[in-house]
Amino acid sequence: MTSSETAVLAENLAKSYRHVQAVAQVSLRVAPGETMGILGTNGAGKTTTIEMIAGLRVPDRGQVRVLGLDPRRDRARLRQVLGVQLQDAYLHHALRVSELVELYRSFYPDPRPADELLELVDLTRQRRTIFEKLSGGQKQRLSIALALVGRPRVAILDELTTGLDPAARRRMWSAIEQLKSEAVTVLLVSHAMEEVERLCDRVAVLDAGRVVAVDTPAGLRARAGTDTLDDAFVTLTGKDLEEAT
Ligand SMILES: Nc1ncnc2c1ncn2[C@@H]1O[C@H](COP(=O)(O)OP(=O)(O)OP(=O)(O)O)[C@@H](O)[C@H]1O
């Protein structure tokens, strides 16, 4: 893959919090239009990795490029092309759903229509609800809608469907399938193997702050000599996914 064929490039990333080495050595290359899954046990460094890619955390070492942009130096340009599913803590808890959507729409020249976004994540009926009164799953769906407001070329989604009911999960999967059909590059942190099998072109398996394998779901199964991705994960990391979730 040459650099012009790379949508997301992370090279030799490392990050420590005081005495904890969250990310020891992570390198990734994601092609334009590719959906790359990031799998790993709890504490493997997934969130820290994507936060560095999104420019929300400064790496101790290594470099990141998203569509050729440096997340810190080119922050303003990156914001126009990158959509990040933010944690609750980053959102304004006292605003109504529709107000949050309008606020985020105001950041972009050609935002998706509010109705379309709310329909996409099935929050049309909650448009007048204040953020902090939403259920956990509704908050999560709203954070996904906000990541997609600006028609990003690259979307970073952290635990897309964790805690969602089966209908909401399927809805999110179709939303990602729609992004794939629009050639959006997606980085998807997940603990759900069915989701990874269905949506991801390739998967990076992280363990203890390092990438232990990057391959297609089928490639990981073949490499580990297992029938399921669950078993491949256990073989590659030596850890049970039950421990990981
Ligand atoms: N702000 C922080 N301050 C101190 N330590 C942190 C902080 N954020 C993460 N860590 C630690 O860094 C390590 C990696 O955390 P990270 O959240 O990146 O992992 P993860 O793979 O996303 O985990 P999970 O699946 O539990 O979300 C963990 O040991 C975690 O406790």
Q: What is the mean pLDDT of each run of 10 residues along the chain (245 residues)?
A: 79 95 97 96 92 95 97 92 80 89 94 94 94 90 92 92 84 89 94 91 96 96 92 86 52
Q: Whose CA is nearest to atom 28 of ligand 1?
A: 43
Say what the pLDDT of residue 66 is: 97
- What does the alpha-carbon distance between residue 97 and residue 110 come to, in Å, rounded to a whole number? 20
Buried b (16+ CB within 10 A) or exposed e, 148-164: bbbbbbbbbbbbbbbeb
Q: Which two tokens stand for residue 17?
A: 């919090």
Q: Which two tokens stand for residue 10?
A: 């992370």
Q: Which two tokens stand for residue 121?
A: 């994540």
Domain ranges of the chain: 3-88+154-244
Q: Would you say the CB of residue 243 lies under 6 angstroms from ligand 1?
A: no
The strand pair at 210-215 and 202-207 is best described as antiparallel
Say what the pLDDT of residue 140 is: 87
153 contacts 181 by C-beta, under 8 angstroms? no
The crossing angle, in degrees rounded to 10, of helices 217-224 and 229-237 is 60
Say what the pLDDT of residue 1 is: 55
Could you tell me the distance, in angstroms and rounded to a whole number, from the CA of residue 80 to the centre of ligand 1?
27
Residue 208 region by backbone torsions, left for phi larger than 0, else alpha for psi between -120 and 50, else beta = left
- Which atom of ligand 1 is nearest the CA belonging to 40? 21
The strand pair at 20-30 and 8-17 is best described as antiparallel
The model carries a pTM of 0.91
Say what the pLDDT of residue 137 is: 86
- What does the alpha-carbon distance between residue 141 and residue 138 come to, in Å, rounded to a whole number? 5
Q: Which of 18, 21, 41, 47 to mutate to test the pocket of ligand 1 (most atoms within 8 A of CB)?
A: 47
- What fold characterizes domain 3-88+154-244? Rossmann fold (3.40.50)
Could you tell me the distance, in angstroms and rounded to a whole number, from the CA of residue 23 to the centre of ligand 1?
9
Say what the pLDDT of residue 240 is: 67
